[in-house]
Amino acid sequence: MPAFDNHFHLDPTGRGVEAVKEFARAGGTAMMLVHKPYGLSRTIADHDAAFAVTLRLAELARAAVPEVRVFVALAPHPAEFTELLKVGVPLDEAAAVQRLALEHAQRLVREGRAVAMSEVGRPHWRPVPDDVMAKANELMDHSFQLAHDAGCAVQIHAETATPESFADLAQHAKHAGLDLERVVKHYSTPIVDTAMNHGLWPSVLIGKGAAEQAIAGGTRFMMETDYMDDPKYPGAVLGPKTVPRRTKEMIASGLMTEEQAWRVHHENPTRVYGIRLD
C-alpha cells in the first residue's frame, strides 16, 4: 500500500536520511521533499546555493533509502522576501531578488531537477503593510505564471485555508492561466469539497482528526506532515512516520478502504505532479 507525504523537509543540520529511514520503516513509499531556507538568502547566488543543498539532500536520501521515491519541489519561501525587508533591503530590491529566485527554481524544474515549485505564496504570519502584501501577491502571481509556462504544479504557503481564501487563491491562479489541477494548498484544513476549495488541491496537515475529516468528504486530497527536520524542534510540525502510520490506522479501523488509500497516495500525486510512483 502506497504512503505519500506531500510536504516533507530535510535539513543539513537535522536528522537527514535518518528521518527518511524512519518514514520508510513506518511504511512510507514516496515523498515530496520541499525546499526550505537554510539562512537568509540576499542574492540569487545565495538562492542557487540553497537550492543545491535541497537537491543534494534528495540525492543522499535516494541513495540511503532507495525504497522511498523522493521528488523535489523548489522555490524561495515567501518569508524570505519579508525577511529581506526586515534587514533593511528596499521593497523593490527585495522583490527583484525573490523574482529572480522564482525564475531560477523554474529553470531547475525545466531541467528535470525538480517536479514542482514550492513553497510560493504570501505573508500570513503577521500583519504587513498594504504595499508589501501587494508586492507579495505580484510575486505569487509571477510564480503561477512560471508554473504555467513550465507545465508544473505549485504548492502554496498562505493564510489558513477557508472557502474564502481558496476562492481568492483560485482567482489568482486562473488569472495567470494556471490549471487549478496543478495548484496545491499546503498546510491545508480538510476542506475536500470542490465547491468549497474552488478546485484547488488540499494538502491536509494530518494532525489529530484531520485525516478522518478529509476522508469523510471524499478522496480528492493529499496528506502531509510538514516535517521540518529542525534539531531545535524535533518532530515539528509532525513526525516522519505520521502519514504512513495514520493511513494504516485508518484502514485497520475501517475509516479508509485500501481503494481510497490508493487514490489519496498514488492516483492523486500522479495526477497533480505528473510523476511515476510505480
Report the distance separating Cα 182 and Cα 152, nearest Å.
7
Instruction: Determine, yes or no, domain membership for 161.
Output: yes
Domain of residue 45: give its range: 4-273
Residue with cell string 490549471: 179
pLDDT of amino acid 190: 98
User: Is the whole-model pTM more than 0.85?
Assistant: yes
Instruction: Determine, yes or no, domain membership for 192.
Output: yes
Mean pLDDT of 243-269: 98
Amino acid, res. 10 = L
Mean pLDDT of 199-212: 96
The closest alpha carbon to 72, from 37, 38, 120, 34, belongs to: 34
Per-residue pLDDT of 131-173, as tens digits, reads 999 999 999 999 999 999 999 999 999 999 999 999 999 999 9
Instruction: Determine, yes or no, domain membership for 130.
Output: yes
* CATH number of the domain bearing residue 185: 3.20.20.140
Alpha helices, DSSP H, located in 65-180: 78-86, 91-110, 130-150, 163-175
Q: What angle do CA 122, 101, 40 make, to 5 degrees?
A: 75
pLDDT of amino acid 103: 98
